[in-house]
Amino acid sequence: WRTHFMQKMYDEPTYSTENLARGYDNMRQEGLLTTEEKRKFDAWHSGHTGYPFVDACMRSLHDSGWLNFRMRCMLVSFASYNLWLSWKHLGPPLAKLFIDYEPGIHYPQLQ
């Protein structure tokens, strides 16, 4: 699967910058974060949201650089749906944390 997703990223390099489903364009703020969004993002990224499971996963990621697939999905899902943050704001900081970062896998999973 790794090679498959790497090839897809090669063929569609916009995976990292554009929504795969164009119907989601402009659904969320995708420019600079507002003060409130920045507060939410910082709490999420530092593992201080007040949701113990989310916070434990994020802190573990900071400590080890790795989470299993389900926990990665949960972190992104929480930030996207509970905090209403765009995946475009989540991608680069997560990429810096993952020791097994591969853009071809990372960006399609964010969306």
Residue 31: C-alpha distances to residues 1, 19, 27, 55 (Å)? 32, 14, 12, 26
Residue 78: the pLDDT is 97
Q: Output 99 or 107, whichever has higher pLDDT.
A: 99
**Per-residue pLDDT tens digits for 35-73:** 999 999 999 999 999 999 999 999 999 999 999 999 999
Separation of alpha carbons 111 and 108, rounded Å: 5
Confidence tier at 110 by pLDDT (50, 70, 90)? confident
- Mean pLDDT for the chain overall: 89
Separation of alpha carbons 75 and 26, rounded Å: 22
Helix locations, the chain, DSSP H? 2-11, 35-46, 52-64, 69-77, 87-97, 103-110
pTM (two decimals): 0.84
Q: For 21, which DSSP code?
A: S
| 51 close to 63: Cβ distance less than 8 angstroms | no
AA identity, residue 97? L
